[in-house]
C-alpha cells in the first residue's frame, strides 16, 4: 500500500486531533449540530471540496454533503457516510467528562468516539490525500443528523439526490463493525404510545380513568405479540437472534400514589427481520388498541384517548447476491468474510435509493452507547489503511 508508512505517523495523529475536536461538540440527537457541520465543511474546504447542506425545518440541524471531484465526471464516485449525532451521556457516570476526549493506553475515550465520530475523523484526515491524487472518480463525504432517533436526516440528502438525478458507484457506511463488511441488518421501528385518562382522587376510583392501568394492558398485549414473533418461521434467516424482536424501553406517567393518573406513555421498539413482521406488529397492536382498549377508556371518559406516535421506521438492509460495495470493501481490507447485524443504520435507506451499500467502520458496537465509550488506535489505523487503499485504487 502506497501510504502505509504514514498511517502510524502524521495521518493517525491528524485523525486523533480531529476526533478530539469532534467529541467536543455535544451533538446529542435532537440537538443542534451546526457547529460540528461547519467544522467539517471547513476541513473539507481546505482540500478543495464543494459542499451542500440540507436542513431540518427549524434550521437547527443540518446534513453535509461534500465532494472532491474526480476526472471522470460521468462516474459519480463513492460516498463515505457517517452520522454526527450521539446518544446522551450522564456525566457523573463517566470516569471523565464525556465531551472532553481522554487518551489512555492507545484508546480515545469520549461520547461518540466509537459511534461514530471515529469514522468521520478518519475520512477528514484522509481528505488531503484524496485532494492531492488525480482521482478517476469523485469521492463524497456525507454527514447526517439524528440517525439515532429514526434516521431523520439521511432522507433529506437522498431526496436531493433524486431531484438532481445523481448516481453513485457505492456507499460505505462507517458504523462500528471492527472493520468487517456487513451486508445485511434488521429494520428498526420506534414508537411512543400516549394514554389519556381522567384524573381524580385515589380514594374514589369510579370518578377517574387510570391511564397507567391501560398502559399496562397495552404492554401485556405487546408481550403477547413479542412471543408470537418468536414462532414466525422464516427460511434462510441471517440474523441473531433469528426472529423479530420487540422491547418496551420506558414507561412514564402519574404524579403520585394518591392521584389517579390521567397521563402515561410507553416507548417501545421493533426490529423486524422483514417488512411482513413489521406490518404484523402494527396490525396486531393497532387493532387491539382501536377495538378493545380504547372503548374501555372512553366508556367513562369520552375524551380518553390512545395515540401511537411513530418516532421512526427505518427500513432493513437486505443482503444482495452481488454487491459492488461489499466487494469493494473486501478488496480494500483483504478480508472476504461478511456478516450481518441486528442494530439499524442508514444503510437500508441508501440501498433503497438504488446505491450499492456496505457497512464497515472502526470500533466495536460493544462500545457504542456505553459509559466511558472509546475507540482504539488500532481500529483507527485499520480504517485509515482501508481509506488510503481506496485512494490508491481510485487514483490514476
Q: Which residues are identified as catalytic?
A: 85, 147
CB-based contacts of 231, cutoff 8 Å, min separation 6: none
d(CA 174, CA 80): 7
Question: How many residues comprise the chain?
Answer: 396
Cell representation of residue 181: 463488511
Phi and psi for 378 in degrees, rounded to 5? -60, -45
Q: Dump strand ranges (E) for 105-234.
A: 107-109, 139-144, 170-173, 181-185, 188-196, 200-201
Cell representation of residue 228: 408470537
d(CA 367, CA 347): 20
Cα 225 to its chain centre, rounded Å, is 26
Cα–Cα nearest to 139, from 65, 208, 64: 65
Q: The cell 482540500 sits on which residue?
A: 47
Q: Are 191 and 267 in contact (CB under 8 A)?
A: yes
Q: Collapse the DSSP code of 25 into the 3-class scheme (helix H, G, I; strand E, B; otherwise coil) and give the result.
A: coil
Q: Are 11 and 3 in contact (CB under 8 A)?
A: yes
Cα Rg of the chain (Å, integer): 23
d(CA 88, CA 20): 17
- CA neighbours within 13 Å on the CB side: how many for 175? 25
Q: Are 196 and 303 in contact (CB under 8 A)?
A: yes
Q: How distant, in Å, are the alpha carbons of 68, 93, 139, 187, 315 from that of 346? A: 22, 29, 19, 10, 8
Continuous segment of H or E residues that includes residue 340: strand 338-341
d(CA 282, CA 272): 11
Bridge partners for 307 per DSSP: 194
d(CA 287, CA 277): 15
Amino acid at each position: 500500500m502506497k501510504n502505509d508508512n504514514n498511517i502510524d505517523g502524521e495521518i493517525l495523529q491528524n485523525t486523533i486531533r480531529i476526533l478530539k475536536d469532534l467529541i467536543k461538540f455535544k451533538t446529542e440527537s435532537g440537538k443542534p449540530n451546526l457547529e460540528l457541520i461547519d467544522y467539517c465543511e471547513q476541513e473539507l474546504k481546505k482540500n478543495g471540496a464543494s459542499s451542500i447542506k440540507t436542513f431540518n425545518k427549524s434550521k437547527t440541524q443540518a446534513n453535509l454533503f461534500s465532494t472532491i471531484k474526480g476526472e471522470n465526471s460521468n462516474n459519480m464516485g463513492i460516498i463515505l457516510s457517517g452520522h454526527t449525532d450521539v446518544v446522551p451521556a450522564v456525566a457523573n457516570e463517566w470516569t471523565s467528562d464525556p465531551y472532553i476526549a481522554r487518551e489512555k493506553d492507545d484508546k480515545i475515550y469520549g461520547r461518540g468516539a466509537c459511534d461514530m465520530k471515529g469514522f468521520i475523523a478518519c475520512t477528514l484526515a484522509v481528505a488531503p490525500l484524496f485532494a492531492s491524487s488525480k482521482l478517476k472518480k469523485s469521492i463524497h463525504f456525507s454527514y447526517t443528523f439524528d440517525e439515532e432517533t429514526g434516521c431523520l436526516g439521511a432522507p433529506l440528502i437522498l431526496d436531493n439526490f433524486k431531484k438532481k438525478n445523481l448516481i453513485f458507484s457505492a456507499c460505505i457506511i462507517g458504523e462500528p463493525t471492527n472493520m468487517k463488511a456487513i451486508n445485511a441488518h434488521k429494520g428498526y421501528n420506534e414508537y411512543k404510545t400516549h394514554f389519556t385518562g381522567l384524573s381524580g382522587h385515589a380514594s374514589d376510583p369510579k370518578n377517574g380513568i387510570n391511564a397507567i392501568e391501560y398502559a399496562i394492558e397495552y404492554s401485556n398485549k405487546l408481550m403477547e405479540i413479542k412471543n408470537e414473533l418468536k414462532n414466525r418461521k422464516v427460511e434462510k434467516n441471517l440474523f441473531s437472534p433469528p426472529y423479530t424482536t420487540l422491547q418496551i424501553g420506558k414507561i412514564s406517567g402519574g404524579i403520585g400514589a394518591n392521584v389517579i393518573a390521567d397521563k402515561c406513555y410507553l416507548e417501545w421498539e421493533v426490529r423486524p427481520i422483514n417488512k411482513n413482521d413489521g406490518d404484523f406488529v402494527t396490525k396486531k397492536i393497532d387493532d387491539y388498541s382501536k377495538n378493545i382498549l380504547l372503548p374501555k377508556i372512553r366508556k367513562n371518559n369520552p375524551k380518553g384517548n390512545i395515540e401511537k406516535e411513530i418516532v421512526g421506521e427505518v427500513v432493513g438492509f437486505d443482503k444482495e447476491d452481488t454487491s459492488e460495495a461489499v466487494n469493494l470493501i473486501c478488496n480494500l481490507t483483504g478480508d472476504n468474510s461478511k456478516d450481518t447485524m441486528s442494530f439499524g443504520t442508514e444503510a437500508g435507506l441508501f440501498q433503497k435509493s438504488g446505491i450499492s451499500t456496505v457497512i464497515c467502520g472502526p470500533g466495536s458496537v460493544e462500545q457504542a452507547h456505553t459509559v466511558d465509550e472509546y475507540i482504539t488506535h488500532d481500529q483507527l489505523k485499520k480504517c485509515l489503511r482501508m481509506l488510503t487503499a481506496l485512494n490508491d485504487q481510485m487514483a490514476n
